[in-house]
Amino acid sequence: MTQQGSPIRIAGDTHVGKVRTMNEDALILEPRLGLYAVLDGMGGANAGDVASQLARDAIRDFVLQRRAALAPKALLEAALVAGSTAVFTAAQQHRERHGMGTTAVVCLVVDPKHVVIAHVGDSRAYLLREGRLQTLTRDHTIVEDLVERGLLAPEEAERHPYKNVLSRNLGARAEARVDLLELELRPGDRVLLCSDGLYGYASAEAIQYLLGSGDAPEHVTRDLIEIALRGGGGDNVSALVIEAPAAAPSSTQVVRTSGAVTWWQHRQRFLQVASDGGLARNPIVRGLPAQEAIELVALSLCQAIYHDLEKSTGVNVWTFAQNLAAGWFERGGDWNAVRGIVDILGGAARAVVDDIRARDAKLGFLLDVAVSRALIVVELALGGLLAERLRQIDSDLIELHGAALDTVEHDTLETVEPLESGERSIERPGERPSERSIERPGERPSERSIDRFIDRPTIPFLRPERPVTSSGESSEVLGAIAKAITIARGRLSPRAELVAQILVALETVATDSGGNFAAAVLAARELYGVRSVDNAGVMPLFDAFDKARIVAASSVHQVRASPAIRVRVLRALSLAHQRLVAAATGLVLEAVVPFGERLREVQVVTGELREAVARAEQRRADLERKFATIVDPSLPWGARGSTEW
Amino acid sequence: MADSHLAEAVRVLRDEVLDTVQHGDRDPPGAEVFEALLRALTIGGESIPGLDLTLHDAVARRLAWGDSEEAVLADAELVFDRLMVSADRAFRDPADQMVVIEAATQVAVTVSRVVALAAVARAGRDRAARMREEMSHQQLKEVLQKQKAALQRLEHELKQDFR
């Protein structure tokens, strides 16, 4: 039996079990009244089913007749008393039915969030909330009463011979003491009403698992009964599941599901509006057939928005905008074209949203927000790209400015100190004019030259006397070094030229018989070459150093030699590598020195200029004071004209 | 492989490699290199060079506290040299020696990389600062010109009024 009409989903069923021949359980499933119950009759031949059915009818009739007059709790309590009276009276009238009775667990659904539960006997009500199962009722058995009064331990109760003997039921007497419980349901809560034929033959874990499975109540009911039957089915089994309405889907869920689908269903409208907006005439897609342009640009964005709606991300739209604008800028395109195409696509998106809103206001509103967010992501991506371009231009301007100043300095030098006879300008490959030094006869180059690292004879912080390698290595070791480097070079890709050069340098330094630092410095200078003093210039060199170290070290292990020889080879190569990298670092340190020096020079000039301004200001103040006190103290300052700047 | 036993063996060489006696409770110069070596040995040979952020941090801190780049590099080189000698003596197993040599090289090279990065970053900052200074030169010169004109006018008016 299933009830689907109300917002609360309900299903209930009963089964005779595997042992009993008669089903003495009864169910109430009255959605009109919001009344649901499980009753378990008892009392000998032909009496148990009579008791449960009598009580069922009495309870249902009472609720039907008095529901308008009584409050829910009072109604339910009175209904169960009426049921008990009906059973008791019938038992009194028929000798063979004497002693019959029934349990009852009854649920009255007041509204979808509010239920009242009443029970007498050992039929139970369970609540499954957020995956946890809890028992809402306490069995009215003698053993349970003893446990409650502390006279019996719960574990003893499980094994107690009178554990099924009821202390209360409907029909034992005309009156009945009813336990009542009010419950506020939360979205997704499930209430289970059941007879002892279920929980007596199915574990609480199994009940929790099935109730929490997410299956429809009718399937849960069927499975619960099935599991009790598998557990023995020694009694009649009844189960009734009441499921509170699930929470309303969040706006995100709506957008991700129906919103995304609806958007995609309107893609033709999107393409049409974009086409009407003149997308095919935009310079970015010039040269493409109109249809292809529309599909390439508009459909791509439409698709990107769809995927982003589906996943609640912005990554697809971001990528689309980046690709579109970056590709256009790389081709030398201007900003207006990008702005134009984005405006057209934005207009198309808004037209689609308007269409959807006209049919479904709520969905249209949600999509409006979501699509607007996607369009903002597009703007952000474009903004990021523009910012990157500005940074690049800024950097280029700084470079140009630096180069222009260098030229001025060079010209000044030539103007102030013209080359005398016998002087010569030293030009080195790859060197800018400003970096050339001037050499005079009888004078050491370093005294007159403009400081550049390339002109420095040594790396100052390193001790030249320190040995680079353990000079005097045996020929066996030297041969093994050569083999290791050969193996390493063989493992490199042809494009790794810098790494290959470093390996050659390593071999040179490691096998240098002189054993001094000069070999490392020379090799480092060759590797350093003419590099810009920034990350782009320097870091590739250090990356290549790392690659060379790794490939060289691993190649040592492949050399056919004794372990002792390998150790010496690795040691020589490692020492050479450390010295080489240190020398390169020294070159970097030397290369950055002029930047600091120039800054300090410029700061000195700034200081001088500021002092001159301050002196002039002082002079002006003195003159104005003199002017005011000697010439005409009565005249206001303004009458003498402004001296502000 | 993770070489925790090697790390323990190298840890014993601390007093031999670093000038711990001279510096008492303070960390001797190059201690950050030695500690980085121990970490590299503990993590194992699969560690990616240059990713030892603690070493980056230690070198950056030394530079920030005023140690010169040259001093940092010289200390690293000294520790490296001493380690080469100590490892040669302390480890009989060639395989162990090779692991220590590789780790020590990696650490020493990482120090160089960090120092070079710091120097390049400093150069960029200096370059930008110089440009700002030069722009302020221009503004100051303009101000000076205006001041000069105003002073001349004031002096002229002063003479006129005296007459």
Contact by Cβ (8 Å): A312, A255: yes
Encoding tokens for residue A79? 């209904």
- The 3-state DSSP class for residue A102 equals strand
Answer whether residue A455 shows pLDDT above 50: no
Q: Is the dihedral of CA A535, A538, A544, A550 positive or negative?
A: negative
Q: Alpha-carbon Rg of chain A, whole angstroms?
A: 47
Decide if pLDDT at A477 tops 70.
yes
Does the predicted TM-score (pTM) go above 0.80? no
Asked whether residue B146 is domain-assigned, the answer is no
Q: State mean pLDDT over A303-325.
A: 85
Q: Is the pLDDT of residue A514 over 70?
A: no
Q: Where are the alpha helices (DSSP H) in A313-360?
A: 315-330, 335-359
**Dist CA B163 CA B155 (whole Å):** 13
Contacts of A624 in chain B (CB under 8 A): 154
Which of the four pLDDT bands, split at 50, 70 and 90, describes residue B15? confident
For residue B46, the domain's CATH number is 1.10.490
For position A445, what pLDDT does the model report? 42
The answer to whether B119 faces chain A, any CB pair under 8 Å, is: yes
Q: Per this entry, what is the length of chain A?
A: 645
Is B64 inside a domain boundary?
yes
Q: Is the pLDDT higher at A77 or at A522?
A: A77
Find chain B residues with C-beta within 8 A of A394's C-beta: none
Question: Which element (helix H / strand E) includes A63?
Answer: helix A48-66
Task: Identify from B93, B107, B147, B148 which residue to disrupt to test chain A contact, counting A C-beta atoms within 10 A and taking the largest count.
Answer: B147
Q: Model confidence at A407, in pLDDT bands (50, 70, 90)?
A: low
**Nearest Cα residue to B29 out of B47, B17, B37:** B17
Q: Which of A354-358, A382-386, A569-573 has the lowest mean pLDDT?
A: A382-386
Tell me which residue range forms the domain holding B67: 4-131
Tokens of residue A299, six digits: 């459909």
> Among A178-187, A239-248, B48-57, B120-129, which is the least confidently predicted range?
B48-57
Q: Which residues of B touch A460 (CB under 8 A)?
A: 70
Q: Do A613 and B147 touch (CB under 8 A)?
A: yes
3-class state of residue A616 by DSSP: helix
Q: Which of residues 12-41 of B touch A (CB under 8 A)?
A: none
CB contacts < 8 A, A to B, total 176
Segment among A42-51, A250-259, A407-416 with least mean pLDDT: A407-416
Measure the CA–CA gap between A558 and A428, rounded to whole angstroms: 42
Q: Which of B80, B120, B144 sits opposite A533 (nearest CB)?
A: B120
What average pLDDT does this structure show over A166-195?
90
A108-166 confidence digits (pLDDT tens): 999 888 999 999 999 999 999 988 899 999 999 888 888 888 888 877 777 777 777 88
pLDDT score at B22: 65
Buried b (16+ CB within 10 A) or exposed e, A146-168: bbeeeebeeeebeebeebeebbb
The mean pLDDT of chain A is 81
User: In this structure, what token pair is assigned to residue A339?
Assistant: 């702005």
Tokens of A389: 């371009």
* Per-residue pLDDT tens over the stretch A239-277: 999 999 887 777 777 878 888 889 999 999 999 999 998
The answer to whether position B30 is within a domain reads: yes
* Total domain count, chain B: 1
Contacts of A39 (CB under 8 A, 6+ apart): A25, A26, A27, A28, A52, A55, A56, A102, A103, A104, A105, A123, A170
Q: Confirm whether B138 is domain-assigned.
A: no
pLDDT band for position A76 (cuts 50, 70, 90): very high
Task: Kindly determine whether residue B117 and residue A539, on different chains, have CB atoms separated by under 8 Å.
Answer: yes
Other C-beta atoms closer than 10 Å to the C-beta of A493 total 8
Which tokens belong to A361?
A: 């206001």
Confirm or reject contact between B104 and chain A (CB < 8 A): yes
Per the structure block, which two tokens stand in for A548? 């060379």
> Which residues have CB under 8 Å from A287's CB, separation 6+?
none
Backbone angles phi, psi at A236, to 5 degrees: -65, 140
CA distance B8 to chain A (A): 21
Average pLDDT across chain B, whole number: 83
B161 within a domain of the structure (yes/no):
no
Spatial strand order of the sheet with A190-194 comes to A2-3, A9-15, A237-243, A190-194, A124-129, A132-135
pLDDT bin (cut points 50, 70, 90) of residue A182 is very high
Find the CB nearest B161 among A398, A599, A631: A631
pLDDT band of A207, cuts 50, 70, 90: very high
pLDDT in tens, A433-454: 444 444 444 444 444 433 333 3
Residue A66 and residue A75 in contact, taking contact as beta carbons nearer than 8 Å: yes
CB burial of residue A595 (10 Å; 0-12, 13-18, 19+): buried
A533 and B123 within 8 Å at the Cβ level: the answer is yes
Cβ A436 vs Cβ A428: under 8 Å: yes
Overall average pLDDT of the A571-588 stretch:
90
Q: In Å, how far are A360, A439, A526, A598 from A445, measured between CA atoms?
A: 84, 6, 21, 20
Query: Residue B149 domain-assigned?
Result: no
Contact state of B101 with A596 under an 8 Å Cβ cutoff? no
Least confident of A69-78, A125-134, A250-259, B19-28: B19-28
The one-letter code for the residue type at A254 is: V
Mean pLDDT along residues A492-514: 83
d(CA B91, CA B102): 14
Q: Are A51 and A100 in contact (CB under 8 A)?
A: yes
Q: For residue B148, tell me if it sits in a domain.
A: no
| B143 is a domain residue | no
Query: What pLDDT score does B161 carry?
Result: 63
Report which residue type is found at A430: G
Comparing alpha-carbon positions, the chain B residue that sits nearest to A535 is: B120
Are residues A553 and B102 in contact, defined by beta-carbon separation less than 8 angstroms? yes
Q: Which of chain B's residues have a Cβ under 8 Å away from the Cβ of A581?
A: 108-109, 112-113
